[in-house]
Amino acid sequence: MLKNQIIRNFANNLNNMSPKRNDKISIFLDANIIVRFLTRDDEQKAEDVKQLFLLLEAGKISAETDAIVVAEIIWVLSSFYKLDRSTISEYISLFLATNHLIIKEKPLVQKAVELYKNINADYIDCFVAVVASKRKIAVCSYDRDFNKFEGIERIEPKDIVKKFQ
């Protein structure tokens, strides 16, 4: 008797977890989902993701991701798949333009992608430069690539320490 009740409760819980046809669900997109879609290295997964994006574009689901996920996508596409900056930037820009896709820092990511396309620097450095510029602060780094960004002041720790000696 107790066993049957437990099974019924479990079944009810499963039914409550499954979205009904009219319920809108929200998801967080991991990098591998976008990579599968862009590279089509697994045709079945690419098709599944395409169908997912059609639901997203139609507003039947909502999705979000984060700037760090975009960074991982760029890293995978450049290091593993050896795609060039222009292609990566085009792919990421199209992805960012997806309807019903939420990225809290989307304008910063978009600016960083544009810098990545046009300046020979790592995407993460481009993102840091955009954030520093927005916040109107210097970048403390030994990485001389920050000297390539217009309007970005790069300082090293010794420069700061000297001001207090």
| Residue 37, domain CATH | 3.40.50
In a domain, 6, yes or no: no
What pLDDT is recorded for position 24? 81
> What local confidence, expressed as pLDDT, does residue 14 receive?
43
Which residues of the chain are under the pLDDT cut of 50? 10-11, 13-18
What is the pLDDT at residue 128? 98
Give the domain extent around 114: 25-162
Confidence at residue 8, expressed as pLDDT on a 0 to 100 scale: 58
> So what's the pLDDT on residue 7?
53
Residue 4 lies in a domain: no
Tell me, yes or no, whether 113 lies in a domain: yes
Residue 70, by phi and psi: left (phi above 0), alpha (psi -120 to 50) or beta?
alpha
Instruction: Count how many domains the chain has.
Output: 1
Q: Is residue 2 part of a domain?
A: no
